[in-house]
Amino acid sequence: MIRILQFLLLAFILFIIGTVAAFHYLVWWQALLVVFGIIFAIAIALNIVIRSLGKMLGGAMTKALEQHAAVLRGAEDRSNPEVARVLARIGGHEAAYERGRGLSRDAAIAALTSGAPAVGA
């Protein structure tokens, strides 16, 4: 952020110096052409800086969100109404619940289709 402010301050100072020099040494219409050229160059430079900043921030945000998503995958959401309902009904069978949560998808499907009696049945 500091670099962007430094760049903007430098661009403004160069614009002022170029404008004063152009109007001092050139005919008014030539000075206007120089000023428009400076404004055009500053606009292009700002466009490049803003695009690169957007790409950099977008990449950093994507990386941070991917890291958070990796941490949250598989995390238990006790505020989910379905999870809260299950936790309220399993009274005394927390160990079995944790074993079930630790199963992979395929292992859970196999356990459900094996015909083993349900917990508490």
pLDDT in tens, 20-34: 999 999 998 999 998
Q: What do you get for the CA distance between the two ends of the chain, in Å?
A: 63
DSSP letters spanning 18-85? HHHHHHHHS-HHHHHHHHHHHHHHHHHHHHHHHHHHHHHHHHHHHHHHHHHHHHHTT---TTSHHHHH
pLDDT above 80 for 119: no
**Quick one: pLDDT at residue 116?**
60
Task: Assess contact for 4 and 49: CB atoms under 8 A.
Answer: yes
Q: At what angle do helices 2-25 and 28-72 cross, to 10 degrees?
A: 170
Q: In the chain, pLDDT over 70 holds for what percent of residues?
A: 85
Task: Assess contact for 22 and 35: CB atoms under 8 A.
Answer: yes
Mean pLDDT, residues 24-50: 89
**Quick one: pLDDT at residue 5?**
82
Domain ranges of the chain: 2-72, 81-113
**Quick one: pLDDT at residue 71?**
59
**Quick one: pLDDT at residue 27?**
93
Q: What is the C-alpha R_g of the chain?
A: 32
| Ramachandran area for residue 53 (φ above 0: left; ψ -120 to 50: alpha; else beta) | alpha
**Quick one: pLDDT at residue 111?**
81
This prediction has a pTM of 0.46
73: DSSP letter: T
Task: Assess contact for 93 and 100: CB atoms under 8 A.
Answer: no
